Amino acid sequence: MRQLITFIRKEFLHVFRDRKTLLMLFGLPIAQIVLFGFALSNEIKNSRIAVVDYSKDASTTRLISKIAASDYFDIQRSLAGAEQLQAAFKKGDIKMAVIFPANFGDDLMHTGKATMQVIADASDPNQATTITNYLSQIVTDYNTELAKDAGQPMQINPETQMLYNPELRGAPNFVPGVMALVLMLVCTMMTSVAIVKEKELGTMEILLVSPFKPVYIIISKLAPNLLISVLNLFIILLLSWLFLDLPVKGSLLLLVTSSILFILTSLSIGLLLSINAKTQQAAMMGSLMGMMLPTMLLTGFLFPIENMPLALQILSNLVPSRWYFIIVKRVMLKGLGITAVWREMLILTGMCLLLFTISLRKFKIRLQ
Amino acid sequence: MAPVISTNQLTKRFGQFIAANALTFEVDKGEIFGFLGANGAGKTTAMRMLCGLSIPSSGKATVAGFDVYTQTEKIKQNIGYMSQKFSLYDDLTVAENIRFYAGIYGMSTPAIKAKTNELLQELQLEKEAKTLVRALPLGWKQKLAFSVAIVHEPDIVFLDEPTGGVDPVTRRQFWDLIYAASDKGVTVFVTTHYMDEAEYCNRVSIMVDGVIAALDSPANLKQQFSANNMEDVFYELARNAKRKAD
């Protein structure tokens, strides 16, 4: 046990001495969050929208003029009927449509409640969410105004419909995506490089001649990477909570447990890479090309898997991050519990055990 | 006195290829034993078997009194090893390297502290204790590597071409360290390409094509082959080799 502690301490020294790499390791998630979080969801002004007014009364006219007065919207045209909307959306002429049904004014007058329809083009989910939020704000303001005039509560409910991408794939999706990507990269790259380095230095020979157990070597190599990855996980969660307003809705414990499961799977992949790589460069390239691309492409956070050719869909099942991505989305964004993710967790556990066993055995064979 | 290393018909086959064929020799305690041979002659294979890294195909051998088939873990406790790459961690300091190698042999913390101080003093590296190994000159690295190889006070130390790439003066200084260790009773098993170094050994074995072609003290070998120096002895034996260096 004392031997193991000695070795783990040495591994931490390696990590802390290498300031540049350390900076990169923690800079990576922060840069990703900033990039995806801020650069890509800036204020959107002058969005072109269409208005269909079947009610044509004083209240709709007032609301429409309010919308028109806002900086955020540019009413492209007022359409006579909803039939024309489809074509306008398809051509990309409008980003959003607002429809007032024929009984809108009557409902509002008599019951104090009315429903309007908002349809947004969600093929760019970020934009769609942002502009529907702007609109809701205007409607809420208008509600207050009406209530003051009428001396009683008035309520207009915008009923929002996301066109083309009802699940809003993409918007909060990137946080789980960044988590999968960063954890995968850090774990595989750091691990494979750490072991190959010992081989290049010739220190591996000494370790093998010493009474130190090979499995201890593996454990010591994994320990600092596990810690760094868990720290990274918390950095990402904190950043997205503070700056992107994306708190963990579900159980934090469940999220962390499944993250550790994913981290261990990635570490095993790194281990496997290191056994086959002869130089640090080879290990680095292997992790970058071999892991980053499949993770980016086949996880589903950049491109929806359902839209892929069948062969790629099948292939994506082999990518661990795909399953992790599903877990994070369900637990973090939707707040679902273990009943919703146990299957994915089981798959990850299986992958982790399989990969770790293979790499452990291969590692031992090399020592013979 | 029982020999520290003893082999009898020790053989290692890889398929049809016999890398080391029926090696029989003994090494005494405190002896400096030179293990010579051209590249591909089977030196490394023999050494790996003695270090417990490779299980022999047939024959017998004991190292520090332990069997190479069944007691490899015991053997590992009792040997030290230094390779031609020196095998130090560049990004750790001198003291950290010593502490690490002492630590993986399971030495206690006070013992490690005492040993670290002792080594630094011996090597006159006290001022450099907190220097990264990266910044040390090659000769110092080499001495440090040897010292960490025997930090756990093993019975035997295996040196695999330890003096590659350093100048003759540094090499001579390195051999002083080897003599000092040998005086303390550590058995030194060393492979080398430098024939002047073969002269420094108590006894020398020369491997050709997987077998031991000659084994004696340098003086006796020179006499036997009527040669002026070990270079001529080696050449006399090695030129008949059939195996190409790999």
| Mean pLDDT across B52-81 | 89
What's the mean per-residue pLDDT of chain A?
Answer: 81
Give per-residue pLDDT as tens, A212-253. 888 888 888 888 889 989 998 998 888 888 877 778 888 999
Please report the number of interchain residue pairs, chain A to chain B, with beta-carbon separation below 8 angstroms: 78
pLDDT at A307 exceeding the cut of 60: yes
Select from A219, A185, A154, A128 the least CA-distant residue to A321.
Answer: A185
What's the pLDDT score for residue A14? 85
Question: In this complex, do A203 and B53 lie within 8 Å of one another by their Cβ atoms?
Answer: no
- DSSP β-ladder status, B211-216 and B17-27: unpaired
pLDDT at A41 exceeding the cut of 60: no
| Mean pLDDT across A134-151 | 83
Question: What sign has the CA pseudo-torsion B83, B85, B87, B88?
Answer: positive
Calculate Rg over the CA atoms of chain A. Answer: 27
In chain A, whose CA is at the least distance from the CA of B104? A3
pLDDT at A81 exceeding the cut of 80: no
Give per-residue pLDDT as tens, B213-236. 889 998 898 888 888 888 888 888
| Residue tagged 């009923």 (tokens) | A159
In chain A, whose CA is at the least distance from the CA of B95? A10
What's the pLDDT score for residue A304? 67
Length of chain A: 368
B88 contacts on A by Cβ (under 8 Å):
201, 203
What's the pLDDT score for residue A166? 59
Q: Where are the alpha helices (DSSP H) in chain B?
A: 43-50, 72-78, 94-104, 109-122, 138-149, 168-183, 195-200, 218-224, 230-238
* Cα–Cα distance measured from residue A281 to residue A231, given in angstroms and rounded to the nearest whole number: 26
Q: Which of B12, B104, B108, B160 to mutate to test the interface with A (most CBs of A within 10 A)?
A: B104
In chain B, whose CA is at the least distance from the CA of A364? B53
Chain A: give the shortest CA distance to residue B12, in Å: 13
pLDDT at B157 exceeding the cut of 90: yes
Instruction: Sort B184 into a burial class: Cβ within 10 Å, 0-12 / 13-18 / 19+.
Output: exposed
Establish if A207 touches chain B: CB-CB under 8 angstroms: yes
Q: Which of B50, B51, B87 to mutate to test the interface with A (most CBs of A within 10 A)?
A: B87
Q: Which of A7, A201, A206 to mutate to test the interface with B (most CBs of B within 10 A)?
A: A206
Query: Which residues in chain A (161-200) have CB-CB distances under 8 A to chain B?
Result: none
Which residue would you say has higher pLDDT here, A269 or A278? A269
Phi then psi dihedrals of residue B56, to 5 deg: -65, 155
Give per-residue pLDDT as tens, A157-200. 788 777 765 555 454 667 788 888 888 888 888 888 888 888 88
pLDDT at A126 exceeding the cut of 80: no
What's the pLDDT score for residue A199? 83
Among A37-51, A98-112, A296-310, whose mean pLDDT is lowest? Answer: A37-51
Establish if B89 touches chain A: CB-CB under 8 angstroms: yes
Question: In this complex, do A210 and B104 lie within 8 Å of one another by their Cβ atoms?
Answer: yes
Q: Is the ipTM of this complex over 0.95?
A: no
What's the pLDDT score for residue A259? 94
B92 contacts on A by Cβ (under 8 Å):
10, 13-14, 17
pLDDT at A293 exceeding the cut of 90: no
Q: Where are the alpha helices (DSSP H) in chain A?
A: 2-17, 19-34, 58-69, 83-91, 104-111, 125-150, 174-201, 203-209, 214-243, 252-276, 280-287, 293-298, 310-316, 320-328, 338-367
Establish if A210 touches chain B: CB-CB under 8 angstroms: yes
A88-94 long-range contacts, Cβ below 8 Å, gap at least 24? A88/A50, A89/A119, A89/A121, A89/A163, A92/A121, A93/A48, A93/A50, A94/A48, A94/A49, A94/A50, A94/A121
In chain B, whose CA is at the least distance from the CA of A4? B104
- Contact partners, residue B17, CB within 8 Å, separation at least 6: none
| Residue tagged 């452990």 (tokens) | A360
Query: Which residues in chain B (15-44) have CB-CB distances under 8 A to chain A?
Result: none
**CA separation (Å) from A254 to A26, A250, B25, B39?**
23, 8, 63, 58
* Cα–Cα distance measured from residue B199 to residue B190, given in angstroms and rounded to the nearest whole number: 12
Question: In this complex, do B101 and A206 lie within 8 Å of one another by their Cβ atoms?
Answer: yes
A10 contacts on B by Cβ (under 8 Å):
89, 92, 96, 100, 103
Amino acid residing at B156: I
What's the pLDDT score for residue A345? 94
pLDDT band at B189 (very low <50, low <70, confident <90, very high): very high
A203 contacts on B by Cβ (under 8 Å):
87-89
A180: tokens are 């999968």
Check: CB of residue A274 under 8 Å from CB of residue A196.
Answer: yes
Query: What pTM was estimated for this model as a whole?
Result: 0.72
* Cα–Cα distance measured from residue B91 to residue B94, given in angstroms and rounded to the nearest whole number: 10
Select from A228, A207, A190, A216 the least CA-distant residue to A5.
Answer: A216
What's the pLDDT score for residue B213? 87
Establish if B108 touches chain A: CB-CB under 8 angstroms: yes
**CA separation (Å) from A257 to A187, A337, A338, B179?**
16, 12, 11, 57
A53: tokens are 């007014």
pLDDT band at A353 (very low <50, low <70, confident <90, very high): very high
* Cα–Cα distance measured from residue A216 to residue A8, given in angstroms and rounded to the nearest whole number: 9
| Residue tagged 């072609």 (tokens) | B213
Question: In this complex, do B79 and A203 lie within 8 Å of one another by their Cβ atoms?
Answer: no
Which residue would you say has higher pLDDT here, A305 or B63? B63
Which residue would you say has higher pLDDT here, A145 or A304? A145
Among A297-306, B15-24, B90-99, whose mean pLDDT is lowest? Answer: A297-306
Q: Among B73, B76, B87, select the one facing A201 at the smallest CB separation.
A: B87
Establish if A367 touches chain B: CB-CB under 8 angstroms: yes
Question: In this complex, do A10 and B149 lie within 8 Å of one another by their Cβ atoms?
Answer: no
**CA separation (Å) from A140 to A100, A115, A303?**
16, 13, 35
What's the pLDDT score for residue A332? 85
| Residue tagged 């789980």 (tokens) | A176
**CA separation (Å) from A162 to A123, A134, A172?**
9, 15, 15
In chain A, whose CA is at the least distance from the CA of B154? A210
What's the pLDDT score for residue B128? 87
What's the pLDDT score for residue A263? 93
Question: In this complex, do A208 and B53 lie within 8 Å of one another by their Cβ atoms?
Answer: yes
Phi then psi dihedrals of residue B183, to 5 deg: -60, -30
pLDDT band at A40 (very low <50, low <70, confident <90, very high): low
What's the mean per-residue pLDDT of chain B?
Answer: 87
**Domain A47-150 sits in CATH 1.10.287.3510:** no
What's the pLDDT score for residue A368? 44
What's the pLDDT score for residue A352? 92
Domain locations in chain A?
Answer: 2-40+169-362, 47-150
